[in-house]
Amino acid sequence: MKKITIPIRFGKIKGLCWGKGNSKKILALHGWLDNAASFSELAPMLAKEGYEVIAIDFAGHGKSDHRAEGHFSHFGDFVLDIHGVLEQLEWDKCTLLGHSMGAAMAVMYSVAYKEHIEKLIMIENLGPVPAYEQGTAASNLRKALSQWQTHNTKHQRFYQSIDSALQVRHKATPMAHKILRPLVKRSLKKSKKGYHWRTDKRLKLRSMVRFSEELVQDILTSEKPPTQLILAEPPTYALSYPSIKERIKKLNAENVIKIKGHHHLHMDKAGEVCRAVIGFLDE
């Protein structure tokens, strides 16, 4: 594994690379409040299969720069970051592999620049959620503005060790500590008061404008590269919204795989996910 830095317009994107120099390329995109280390189990397996895998930390996540002070993180900004990263990597073509929020970003980028993406792999997501509901625009905007006016980026909770922070994250993402530790460690920063999450706190603010379900499904039905959808079985909280069946239908993926596990199955079920991915990429 190699640590990398990719300068793009807004600042520096940090990441991890496995299988450097391998001819086949994968750009891996993590989920909300996660980071590149969420691929620490899956990426080495893919590298052994001949792939160079670069997993990035999205802005405000992991070790990447935060957005400028006073700025809001919009969903589309992360898609711009993907474009900036791929411009710097100068790959002819690659596979986009996204988990959760990363899967939503991946499909949006893939329909806009399908000529640059060889295949698309989506794990545990089918676009932005929750979608806009008619009649809620004004109330949602008011709540978002209120949050923005009262938020602050000062860290108020500190942990005396990585293990104590790991215990907290384990409650939200239960799995073997050995597998979860790289993700937690990359999310932490040490200060005189102890460890705190380095993740940009603005990422938890409500979006001022939401994508409509109609727009999301328009994206899903757009022309795109051959697509694989990997879902946990039974269905997880991340796909509990009412339109999920319709979104799956609209996506019309060439390959749909269900694997027994939870939302982060690419971490503790990495072997099964790898076999599914390689089977799709070798088609």
Which residues are 117's β-sheet partners?
94
Average pLDDT over the chain, rounded to an integer: 94
DSSP string covering 148-187, please? HHH--------BSSHHHHHHHHHHHS-S-HHHHHHHHHHT
**Helix (H/G/I), strand (E/B), else coil: 51:** strand
Task: Name the pLDDT band for 120 (thresholds 50, 70, 90).
Answer: very high
Give me the percent of the chain exceeding a pLDDT of 90: 83
- CA dist 182 and 247 (Å) reads 33
Active-site residues: which are they? Answer: 100
- Residue 131, pLDDT > 80, answer no
Residue 99: inside a domain: yes
Task: Name the pLDDT band for 73 (thresholds 50, 70, 90).
Answer: confident
The residue with greater pLDDT, 121 or 134, is 121
Q: How far is CA 185 from CA 12, 19, 49, 279, in A?
A: 19, 22, 27, 32
- For 78-111, the pLDDT digits (tens) are 999 999 999 999 999 999 999 999 999 999 999 9
Residue 120: inside a domain: yes
Residue 60: inside a domain: yes
For the chain, the domain total comes to 1
pTM: 0.96
Residue 173: inside a domain: no
DSSP string covering 124-137, please? S--S-SSPB-TT-H
- For 203-240, the pLDDT digits (tens) are 999 888 888 899 999 999 999 999 999 999 999 999 99
Angle of helix 101-112 relative to helix 75-89, nearest 10 degrees, comes to: 70
Among 16-25, 181-190, 199-208, name the one with the lowest average pLDDT.
199-208
Judged by phi (left if over 0) then psi (alpha if -120 to 50, else beta), residue 20 lies in beta
Residue 213: inside a domain: yes
Q: What is the mean pLDDT of residues 148-158?
A: 87
Residue 123: inside a domain: yes
Do residues 20 and 244 lie in contact, with contact meaning Cβ atoms separated by under 8 Å?
A: no
Do residues 40 and 178 lie in contact, with contact meaning Cβ atoms separated by under 8 Å?
A: no
- Domain of 75 in residue numbering reads as 2-135+209-281
**pLDDT given at position 283:** 86
- For 26-66, the pLDDT digits (tens) are 999 999 999 999 999 999 999 999 999 999 999 999 999 99
Q: How far is CA 111 from CA 16, 78, 83, in A?
A: 26, 15, 12
Q: What is the mean pLDDT of residues 138-156?
A: 88
DSSP string covering 84-106, please? HHHHHHT-S-EEEEEETHHHHHH
Q: What is the mean pLDDT of residues 3-16?
A: 96
Residue 90: inside a domain: yes
**Helix (H/G/I), strand (E/B), else coil: 50:** coil
Residue 191: inside a domain: no
Q: What is the CATH number of the domain that holds 25?
A: 3.40.50.1820
**Using CA atoms in the order 232, 75, 182, 265, what is the torsion angle rounded to 10 degrees?**
0
Choose among 90, 97, 108: nearest CA to 30.
97
**pLDDT given at position 209:** 85
- Residue 192, pLDDT > 80, answer yes
